C-alpha cells in the first residue's frame, strides 16, 4: 500500500489554486462573450481533473491511515459546497422573482429542484443543449457540472474503501473505467451529443484521469523532464482555448486537450517554472475564490441580460464580471471560510442548517410551480404577449414527424424543418377556402433538399432527415410547399443549397412547387424582448428584413417562389406584432398568428393557380 499512499498524501500546493484560476477565468470570459477564447468552456474539464486528483488523494490518504469514512467524506462535501451553493441559490431565487416572466420562473423553479438534488445535468439535457441554452434565460444552467461531480462521488469513496488494500486492482479498475468512459464519450459525440455533454458516464474519464494520478498509476517523471511536461500541459490548455469552439464535437477526443494538459501540470509538481507561474499571488487569489466565482458569474450574467432585455454589450459584460468577482470574494471570506472551520461551525448544526435551507428553497420552488410562475407580478397584457401558441398543427405533429391537416384527402405536401411546422397554420388557412387538405412532413434542422445535409445534425439525425425527404419527394401529391430556415443552410453553403434545390425541383417532376422564402428576422427572442420592453417602458423591439436569401433561380413554369418579406414588411417596415401577438414565437420561427395573418394571404394566390 505504501506506493499508493505516497501519491495520496497531498500537501497544499499553491500551483493547484493557480490552475483553478486558469480553469475559471476562461469560463467566465467565455460566458461574458469574449470572442478571443471560443473554447473557454473547457475550464470545466480542467476542474474535473483537479477534483478527481484532490478528492481521490484525500480518500487514499484516509485508507493509508487505516479507514475510509464514508460519513466523514460526505460531511466534507456538504461543508465544501453546501453553504456557498445555498447562498447563491437563495440570491438567484430573489432576483428571479423580480425579473423572470412566468414561464421562465417555472423553469427556474424546476431547475432549482434539480440543482438541489444534484441531477441538473440530466434536467438540462432533457430541456436543451448547453450552447442553445446559453442563449436562453437559464440562471442555474452552470450547476450541471456540480451534479456530474457529486454523482461521481457516490461511487468513488465506495471504490476506494473496497479496493484500497489492493492498490494494483484499484488502479487497473480506475484505468478500465476511464478508458470505457472515454470511448463512450468519443462515440457519443457522434450519436448523441446532448447526452454525451451532460451525462456522468461520458464525463467520468475526466475525473478518473485525476484519480489515476493520485493513485500513482503514472510514474513520476525524472526531474529534468518535469519542466517540459508542465510547459506541454500549459500549451495543450492554451491550444484548447483557441482551437475548440461550440461547433466542436465535445467532450469526446477534443476534451483530451484540456484534460491531459491539466494532468501534466498536476503530475509535474509545483517546483517547475509553470508551477511557480501558477503560484503567483494573483493567480492563487483567483483560484481560492474559483468555486464561488463559478457559482456567481452565470446568474449575474443571465439575469443582467434579463434586466436590460438583450445583450449586455462590452461595458455591461465587464460590469457583470466585476460584480461576480466582488460577490465571489465576499462569499469566500464570509461563507466558505467560516463554514469550513470545524472549530467555528460544528458538523451536525451545519448539515442540519444546509438541509433546512435546501428544504425551504424547495418548498418555495414548488409554490412557484403550483402558481404557474406567479403571473400576477406583471400586467395581463405583458403575460398575454408571452403566452405560447397552443394546439397548433406544428405542435400536434412535432412528435410524429408527419400528419394531415385541412379537409379531405391531402393534395398539398408541406415539407421542411421546424419552420415548415411553424408555417403549417398558414398553409392550412390558405388551403381550406379552396377545399384542399394537406400533409406536413417535418424533421428539425432538416432542409427539404435532396443531396444537402446540415452540418449541425448528428450522423443518426442526418440519416433520418435524408430518408424522410427522399420518401416525401417520392410520394408527393400534386402540390409541394417547401419551407425552411434558409439563412442557416445558406450560411453553410450557398451554392450547395441552390444546387440541391434544383435537384429537388427536378425530382418532383411536373408537380406544382411553391417555395416559401424571405422570412425576416427579429432582433433576438421577439416575445421575450417585447415583454422586457413593455416592463421597462421602452420602444418595442425591431424585426429586420431578411436580406439576401434564396436568389431568384431560373425556375421552371411549375415552380414559384413566394417572398414572405413583402407580407411581413409592408412599406419597408417589418411588423413586430399582428392581431396583438408577436410575429415570431422566438428568434426565428413565425408565430401561429403571423402564419395565419401574413403567410396565408401571401401563399393563397400561388395555391389557387
DSSP string, 178-238: HHHHHHHHHHHHHH-HHHHHH-GGGTHHHHHHHHHHHTT-SPPPPTTTHHHHHHHHHHHHH
Q: What is the pLDDT of residue 154?
A: 94
519 neighbors 419 (Cβ within 8 angstroms): yes
First-last CA distance in the chain: 85
Q: What is the pLDDT of residue 66?
A: 79
Per DSSP, the three-state class of 533 is helix
Nearest to 517 by CA among 557, 580, 559, 571: 559
- Whether residue 560 is found in the same domain as residue 595: yes
| Residue 326 located in a structural domain | yes
Q: What is the pLDDT of residue 351?
A: 94
- Whether residue 417 is found in the same domain as residue 562: yes
C-alpha cell read off for 48: 474535473
- Whether residue 340 is found in the same domain as residue 431: no
Q: What is the pLDDT of residue 547?
A: 58
- Whether residue 324 is found in the same domain as residue 413: no
- The parent domain of residue 467 ranges over 393-608
C-alpha cell read off for 495: 451554392
| Residue 382 located in a structural domain | no
Cβ-proximal residues to 422 (8 Å cutoff; 6+ apart), any chain: 394, 585, 589, 590, 591, 592, 595
- Whether residue 353 is found in the same domain as residue 402: no
Of 312, 343, 377, at which residue does a domain stop?
Answer: 377
Length of the chain: 609
Q: What is the pLDDT of residue 486?
A: 93
Nearest to 594 by CA among 573, 565, 571: 565
Cα(255)–Cα(508) distance, rounded to whole angstroms? Answer: 45
Cα(40)–Cα(355) distance, rounded to whole angstroms? Answer: 34
- Whether residue 370 is found in the same domain as residue 400: no
- Whether residue 345 is found in the same domain as residue 446: no
Q: What is the pLDDT of residue 5?
A: 43
Q: What is the CA radius of gyration of the chain?
A: 28
Of 352, 377, 402, at which residue does a domain stop?
Answer: 377
| Residue 384 located in a structural domain | no
Q: What is the pLDDT of residue 57?
A: 93
Per DSSP, the three-state class of 439 is strand
| Residue 135 located in a structural domain | yes
| Residue 385 located in a structural domain | no
454 neighbors 445 (Cβ within 8 angstroms): yes
- Whether residue 316 is found in the same domain as residue 421: no
- Whether residue 156 is found in the same domain as residue 122: yes
Cβ-proximal residues to 95 (8 Å cutoff; 6+ apart), any chain: 139, 299, 303
* Domains held by the chain: number: 2
- Whether residue 215 is found in the same domain as residue 312: yes
Q: What is the pLDDT of residue 366?
A: 99
Of 317, 351, 377, at which residue does a domain stop?
Answer: 377
Report, as ranges of residue numbers, the positions in the chain whose pLDDT lies below 50: 1-8
CATH number of the domain within which 472 lies: 3.40.50
Cα(284)–Cα(282) distance, rounded to whole angstroms? Answer: 5
Instruction: Convert the pLDDT of each residue in 232-258 to its tens digit.
Output: 999 999 999 999 999 899 999 999 999
Residue with cell 468552456: 41
- Whether residue 309 is found in the same domain as residue 401: no
296 neighbors 127 (Cβ within 8 angstroms): no
Q: Which residues pair with 562 in a beta bridge?
A: 516
| Residue 388 located in a structural domain | no
Nearest to 123 by CA among 147, 139, 154, 91: 147
- Whether residue 404 is found in the same domain as residue 328: no
Amino acid at each position: 500500500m505504501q506506493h499508493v499512499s505516497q501519491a495520496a498524501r497531498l500537501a497544499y500546493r499553491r500551483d493547484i489554486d493557480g490552475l483553478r484560476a486558469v480553469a475559471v477565468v476562461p469560463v467566465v470570459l467565455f460566458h461574458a462573450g469574449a470572442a478571443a477564447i471560443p473554447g473557454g468552456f473547457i475550464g470545466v474539464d480542467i476542474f474535473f481533473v483537479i477534483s478527481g486528483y484532490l478528492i481521490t488523494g484525500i480518500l487514499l490518504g484516509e485508507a493509508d491511515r487505516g479507514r475510509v469514512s464514508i460519513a466523514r467524506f460526505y460531511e466534507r462535501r456538504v461543508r465544501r459546497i453546501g453553504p456557498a451553493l445555498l447562498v447563491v441559490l437563495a440570491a438567484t431565487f430573489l432576483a428571479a422573482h423580480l425579473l423572470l416572466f412566468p414561464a421562465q420562473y417555472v423553469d427556474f423553479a424546476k431547475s432549482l429542484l434539480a440543482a438541489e438534488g444534484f441531477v441538473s445535468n440530466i434536467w438540462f439535457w432533457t430541456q436543451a443543449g448547453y450552447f442553445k441554452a446559453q442563449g436562453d434565460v437559464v440562471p442555474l444552467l452552470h450547476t450541471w457540472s456540480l451534479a456530474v461531480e457529486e454523482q461521481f462521488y457516490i461511487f468513488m469513496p465506495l471504490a476506494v474503501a473496497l479496493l484500497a488494500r489492493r492498490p494494483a486492482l484499484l488502479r487497473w479498475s480506475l484505468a478500465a473505467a476511464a478508458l470505457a468512459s472515454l470511448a463512450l464519450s468519443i462515440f457519443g459525440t457522434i450519436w448523441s451529443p446532448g447526452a454525451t455533454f451532460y451525462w456522468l458516464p461520458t464525463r467520468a474519464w475526466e475525473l478518473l484521469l485525476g484519480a489515476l494520478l493520485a493513485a500513482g498509476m503514472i510514474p513520476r517523471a525524472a526531474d529534468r523532464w518535469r519542466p517540459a511536461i508542465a510547459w506541454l500541459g500549459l500549451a495543450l490548455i492554451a491550444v484548447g482555448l483557441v482551437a475548440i469552439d461550440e461547433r466542436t464535437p465535445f467532450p469526446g477526443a477534443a476534451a483530451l486537450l484540456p484534460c491531459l494538459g491539466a494532468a501534466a501540470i498536476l503530475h509535474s509538481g509545483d517546483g517547475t517554472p509553470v508551477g511557480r507561474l501558477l503560484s503567483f499571488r494573483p493567480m492563487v487569489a483567483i483560484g481560492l475564490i474559483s468555486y464561488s466565482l463559478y457559482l456567481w458569474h452565470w446568474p449575474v450574467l443571465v439575469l443582467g441580460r434579463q434586466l436590460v432585455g438583450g445583450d449586455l454589450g462590452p461595458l455591461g459584460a465587464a460590469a457583470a464580471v466585476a460584480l461576480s468577482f466582488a460577490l465571489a470574494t465576499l462569499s469566500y471570506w464570509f461563507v466558505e471560510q467560516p463554514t469550513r472551520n470545524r472549530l467555528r461551525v460544528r458538523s451536525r448544526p451545519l448539515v442540519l442548517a444546509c438541509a433546512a435551507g435546501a428544504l425551504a428553497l424547495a418548498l418555495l420552488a414548488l409554490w412557484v410551480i403550483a402558481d404557474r410562475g406567479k403571473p400576477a407580478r406583471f400586467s395581463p397584457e405583458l403575460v398575454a404577449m408571452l403566452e405560447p401558441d397552443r394546439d397548433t398543427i406544428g405542435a400536434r405533429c412535432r412528435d410524429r414527424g408527419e400528419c394531415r391537416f385541412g379537409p379531405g384527402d391531402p393534395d398539398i405536401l408541406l415539407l421542411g424543418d421546424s419552420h415548415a411546422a411553424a408555417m403549417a397554420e398558414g398553409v392550412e388557412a390558405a388551403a381550406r377556402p379552396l377545399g384542399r387538405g394537406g400533409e406536413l412532413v417535418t424533421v428539425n434542422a432538416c432542409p427539404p433538399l435532396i443531396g444537402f445535409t446540415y452540418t449541425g445534425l448528428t450522423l443518426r439525425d442526418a440519416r433520418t432527415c435524408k430518408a424522410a425527404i427522399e420518401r416525401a419527394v417520392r410520394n408527393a401529391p400534386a402540390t409541394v410547399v417547401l419551407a425552411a430556415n434558409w439563412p442557416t443552410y445558406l450560411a453553410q453553403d450557398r451554392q450547395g443549397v441552390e444546387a440541391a434545390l434544383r435537384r429537388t425541383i427536378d425530382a418532383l417532376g411536373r408537380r406544382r412547387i411553391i417555395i416559401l422564402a424571405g422570412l425576416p428576422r427579429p432582433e433576438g427572442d421577439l416575445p421575450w424582448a417585447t415583454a422586457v420592453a413593455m416592463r421597462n417602458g421602452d420602444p418595442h423591439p425591431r424585426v429586420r428584413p431578411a436580406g439576401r436569401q434564396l436568389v431568384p433561380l431560373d425556375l421552371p413554369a411549375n415552380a414559384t417562389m413566394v417572398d414572405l418579406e413583402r407580407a411581413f414588411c409592408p412599406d419597408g417596415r417589418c411588423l413586430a406584432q399582428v392581431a396583438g401577438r408577436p410575429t415570431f414565437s422566438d428568434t426565428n420561427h413565425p408565430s401561429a398568428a403571423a402564419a395565419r395573418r401574413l403567410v396565408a394571404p401571401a401563399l393563397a394566390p400561388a395555391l389557387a393557380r
